[in-house]
Every structure is written in structure tokens, then in C-alpha cells.
Structure 1
């Protein structure tokens, strides 16, 4: 039921840096390995609403209704710009010397969930991507859809955790250089703003 083509395609999709990857990497650099895991968990959980929308048929509404798509897109754009501004302004967040207050696991997970939930492209992605790998003759297509979605989410979590571990490995280099901290803060802020701008100008 799970083909090699599906696994390879999913891996490519998950590996492409996006909002979730940037958030996980920045969290791993700032707060370490444990925090990056919670960021990965939150970003993976943020896939669930899009999966539910696909299963319940809401994705079809999103695909055909320009108003519904634009409403969710606007919310996503505004949140990404907010995250970009907050990252740029919060210099203490990148003072990874142990003196900065650590965010709770719940707040890290919640932010990851919001980042992915407010991305309407994921709903359209699930609508266009998953059906290609469901066998037309499948006796229980819904079960196959859930299985493929579960595999995709597991792969997302594994890859994001790996991204977080790599970021954590370079954490000491960040600690030792104020210049690197400033560069990372500006880079992550620009990345979030860029993703928001790209989402704003996209049609679908």
C-alpha cells in the first residue's frame, strides 16, 4: 500500500526547507535539542487539520472557493509577518548563553502547530498529492489515505528532528559569536518574512 515512489516523493517534499524547517532549526540553535524536538512535534501536529480537511472534503471547498482560500491565506501571511517581526525584535531569544529564559514545551509546540495550520498550501497539497498514490481499485480508500498520511507525518517528524539535531550541533558556535547571533536573527526574520510574502502573492 505504501510504494517506493510515495516514500521518495514524500522525502523530497519534507526535505525542502520551509516554515517548519526554519522554525525547528532556529529553535534548535536557540534552546537546544529538547526544544527542537517539541518544535518538530508541533509542526507535525500542524499537518493534522489539513489532513482532516482533506478527509472531510473541506479541501475541495478550499480549492474552489477563492474567499475561503484567501481568508486562511491572509491569516497565515499575517502570522508569518508577526513571527518575522518578533524574531527581529527579540534579541534575548538569540542570546543562547543560558541566561535567556527558556520557553515552555507547550508554547513551542503551539507555535509550530499555528505555523503549519495557517498555511493553506498544505491543504491544497494534500488534496493534490495524496490521491495520486491511492490505488483506484482499493477496497477501503479512506484507510489507505490515513495510512499514507500517517507515513508522511512520521517522515516529517523524523526529518525535522534531524534538522533540529544538526542545528543543536552548531549551537556552541552560535554561543561564542555575537555577530553570528545577530546574523541568524536577521536571517530567520527575513526568511519568515519572505515566506509570508511568497504566500501573499501566490494564487494557489
Structure 2
């Protein structure tokens, strides 16, 4: 398995690039932050785990060549994109209508947050295209099967993404803990974030 990885310099470059990309606030980071603000630190970390699982789904698609087919089919790309936007908009409506102490918030939203994070990431075809463009740059047929290299590199990328996104999600949860008496305001802030992500996905 180690033989499938780039040389130390190449691996360091891959991990460094992945870390920089993950540290840059994007849709996944904003989703984890909003989830944490809505349901607490556990929900934010759980959302990050879901996002990473969704990332692994796109890695598998890339390794299997499906992502390339998606990139070549504008109709399929748009269908998935609009489905993702609709799902985020639905989350926005739920957050806006949430009361001061919903059962989901009290429970921390663990499994539900994982599912939301995974589904949000899976329904974002831009993630598939990013993975398709990023991972192959660090693969080399001389080291062995390219599909195996992509899976291994993608796993490393998803792992680093989880830790970074989880920190953001926990930070969002800390915000909720400090402002617990303003839960309604935080729910509406989360709703605004989800709605913004939906618009960004649908209109971009």
C-alpha cells in the first residue's frame, strides 16, 4: 500500500495542498459551522464526519471513472446540482422554523447531522469535479493501479478534511453554547447560511 503513495516530497505536497484547501472556508466549512451553531459541538463534528463520508463517495466515483461521465453530461450535472440546492433550501426552512429547544438540538443531532452532511456533499457535483481534477495530479501509473492510488489519496484527503472541518463545526457549537439563550437567533443564522449555500449551488 505504501508503494502506491507518492515519494515523501510528493506526499508532503499533496497533504499541504489538501490542508490549505480544507482550511479555506467553503461550502463544507460553512455547513459544519451552521450545524454546530444549530445543534452544538457534537452536531458540528458529526456534520464534518458526514461531509468526509460524502467526500469518500466522490473519491469512489472518481476511481471508477463515473465522475468523468458526470462532467461530460451537463443534464446530469444540473439535475444533481438542483437536487442539492433544494435539499439545502429545505434545511434552511427547517432551521428558520425551529423552536427555542427542539428535540434535535437537545440530542446534539449526531446521526442526523452525519446524514445531512453526507447527503449535502453527495448532492454537490462540484465536489466530484474537484476530486476528479485534484487527485489524478498525484497519481502515477508507474506506482501501480491508478484506481487504487486514487482511493488511497482520496482517503487521506477525506481524513484531513474531517479534522479541519470538525474544528470549524466545534467552533460553531461553542458559539451556540455561549449564546444558548439566543437559540432562535442562531437557528435563523443557520437558516441564512443554508439558504446562501443553496443559492450558490443553484446559480453558480
TM class by shorter-chain length?
0.7 to 0.9
Aligned to 2:84: 76
More helix by share: 2
Residue of 180, 195, 198 corresponding to 1:196 = 198
CA RMSD of aligned residues (A): 2.4
Structure 1 residue 125 and structure 2 residue 130: aligned? yes
Aligned-residue offset at 1:186: 3.0
SS at match of 1:46: helix
Alignment of 1:51-70 (within 5 A): 51-70=59-78
Aligned-residue offset at 1:100: 5.5
Structure 1 residue 91 and structure 2 residue 99: aligned? yes
Measure, in 2, the Cα distance between the counterparts of 1:10 and 1:60.
21
Aligned to 1:16: 24
**What are the superposed Cα offsets for residues 62-96 of structure 1, whole Å, 9 maximum, x if unpaired?**
1111111111111111111111122112133xx49
Aligned-residue offset at 1:18: 3.0
- Over 3 Å counting, the alpha-carbon distance change for 1:83 and 1:100 in structure 2 is closer
Aligned-residue offset at 1:184: 3.0
Verify the 8 A CA contact 2:42 2:108 in the aligned structure 1.
Answer: no
Aligned to 2:3: none
Aligned-residue offset at 1:101: 4.0
Unaligned runs of 5+ in 2: 1-5
Verify the 8 A CA contact 2:38 2:186 in the aligned structure 1.
Answer: no
Give the structure-1-normalised TM-score. 0.84
Unaligned runs of 5+ in 1: none
Aligned residue pairs: how many?
196
Aligned to 2:149: 144
Runs of 4+ in 1 over 6 A off after TM superposition: none
Measure, in 1, the Cα distance between the counterparts of 2:78 and 2:35.
29
Measure, in 2, the Cα distance between the counterparts of 1:183 and 1:34.
19
Measure, in 2, the Cα distance between the counterparts of 1:148 and 1:99.
35
Aligned-residue offset at 1:155: 0.4
**What are the superposed Cα offsets for residues 87-120 of structure 1, whole Å, 9 maximum, x if unpaired?**
112133xx49x99542553222111111111101
- Over 3 Å counting, the alpha-carbon distance change for 1:104 and 1:194 in structure 2 is closer
Residue of 171, 175, 196 corresponding to 2:176 = 171
